[in-house]
Amino acid sequence: MAPGLTYAKAGVSIEAGDQLVRRIGPIAKRTKVPGVLAGVGGFSALFDLKSRSYREPILVSSTDGVGTKLKIAFMTGVHDTVGIDLVAMSVNDILTQGAAPLFFLDYFVCGKLDVKITETVVRGIAAGCLQAGCALIGGETAEHPGDFTKGEYDLAGFVVGVLEKKKIIKPTAIAPGDILIGIPSSGLHSNGYSLARKVLLERGRLKLSQRIPELGRRLGAELLEPTRIYAKITRRLFADFEINGAAHITGGGITGNLPRVLPKGRRAVIERGSWPVPPVFGLIQKIGAVEQAEMDSTFNNGLGMILVVSNKQADSVVRALKSMGEKSFVIGEIRKGARGATLRG
């Protein structure tokens, strides 16, 4: 008679999952913020919104993943930064509403759980939460035997933030003459990696361990540079200034994302050359013979966030960013016209 089957023999280890939860608990605890009543370890988490002094609190949520940037983590064996990317992609989205992030949850799925790798990923998620000023309040780890190549996994993240109802950014406030202020990205962030890998690794036959003179470092380090989290910047700016619009420049680039915050009859006109483009973008364009329009609609090209402010407040916003040690660039203005974005020059 054949021996009886078990969940472990089917490929799922309850023991490894329990071990991981024990390790994650102290990591998540370090991200605790006022309002967290119950976090990692239970069936669900609890957050007391009364811990924040809002008269009419509005909750704002978003979810996202890291995309094929994970392939670079698998190829290099470096797993401590993609968690930051995971937090950034969701948090930066809710910042565009003027919200402050409250708490974050993650979903980690793999074929066979490697506790060490998973713990490293979660440490990155916690690091991202600390940057964003929110709590890692819960998550889920799942084993799907047979669904993933050995050593690979996927990630999803979920964030909830809050803002005062009267502070919700209204696109109708955007008017001709408003100024566009770009805040730099840290590189590719977490978008366009399918094209970037195709160009650099397949067509260019570059190695991730190879030091690239144009980049000043190894290619793998460049491609794993974490996505910037803009929460601390926007927290101060939204408190001190009337920001008419904010766009997170993700997949779709400037031309695909900036119009999402514009009202009908408003067009963004942007001057090329008004900000420095990191060399990784030029490398991709050169090796792949990628048309400029394709670059514009795929990558952030060096700007991770674009703010729309009134002409009267533009100089003050730039000075405020400088006082925070942040670079920023006046890249264009809003004009009348069909909703969209035009890059000139």
Residues 136 and 176 in one domain: no
Which CATH number fits the domain that encloses residue 70? 3.30.1330.10
Please check whether residues 183 and 320 belong to one and the same domain: yes
8 in a domain, yes or no? no
Confidence of residue 6 (pLDDT cuts 50, 70, 90): very low
Per-residue burial over 45-59, b if 16 or more Cβ lie within 10 Å, else e, is bebeeeeeeeeeebe
Query: Order of strands, edge to edge, in the sheet holding 179-184?
Result: 243-248, 303-309, 179-184, 329-336, 266-271, 340-344
Q: What is the pLDDT of residue 52?
A: 76
Residues 218 and 329 both lie in one domain: yes
Instruction: Return d(Cα 117, Cα 99) in angstroms, integer.
Output: 32
Give the mean pLDDT of 173-179.
93
Q: Single out the residue of 247, 233, 237 nearest to residue 339, CA to CA.
A: 247
pLDDT band at residue 171, thresholds of 50, 70 and 90?
confident
The CATH number of the domain holding residue 276 is 3.90.650.10
pLDDT of the residue at 142: 85
Query: What is the length of the chain?
Result: 345
Residue 330 has pLDDT above 90, yes or no: yes
Give the model's pLDDT for residue 25. Answer: 72
pLDDT tops 90 at residue 112: no
Structural domain contains residue 2:
no
Residue 5 is predicted with a pLDDT of 44
- Whether residues 332 and 238 fall in one domain: yes
What is the three-class DSSP state of 22? Answer: helix
pLDDT of residue 258: 94
**Percent over 70 (pLDDT), the chain:** 90
Query: What pLDDT shows up at residue 217?
Result: 95
The verdict on residue 299 lying in a domain is: yes
Q: Are residues 157 and 177 in the same domain?
A: no
pLDDT digits (tens, 9 = 90+) for 200-258: 999 999 999 999 999 999 999 999 999 999 999 999 999 899 899 999 999 889 999 99
The structure tokens 């420049």 sit at 249
DSSP 8-state symbol, 195 = H
Least confident of 115-119, 132-136, 331-335: 115-119
Confidence class of residue 55 from pLDDT cuts 50, 70 and 90?
confident
Q: Is the pLDDT of residue 10 over 60?
A: no
pLDDT category at 41 given cuts 50, 70, 90 is low
> Has residue 138 been placed in a domain?
yes
Looking at the predicted structure, is the pLDDT value of residue 166 above 50? yes
The answer to the question of residue 309 being in a domain is yes
Which of 146, 167, 188 is at the close of a domain? 167
pLDDT interval class at 169 (50, 70, 90): confident
The total number of structural domains that make up the chain: 2
pLDDT per residue as tens digits for the range 276-319: 999 999 999 999 999 999 999 999 999 999 999 999 999 999 99
Whether residue 307 lies inside any domain: the answer is yes
Looking at the structure, tell me whether residues 147 and 40 fall in a common domain. yes
- Do 297 and 256 share a structural domain? yes
* Domain identity same for 162 and 195: no
Domain boundary residue, one of 132, 167, 202: 167
Instruction: State the residue range of the domain holding 114.
Output: 14-167
* Predicted structure pTM score: 0.89
Q: Residue 264: phi, psi to the nearest 5? A: -60, 140
Q: Angle between the 311-323 and 231-240 helix axes, to the nearest 10 degrees?
A: 140
Average pLDDT of the chain, as a whole number: 89
19-43 mean pLDDT: 70
Where does a domain end: 141, 167, 193?
A: 167
| Inside any domain, residue 41 | yes
Residue 273 maps to a domain: yes
**DSSP single-letter state for residue 227:** P
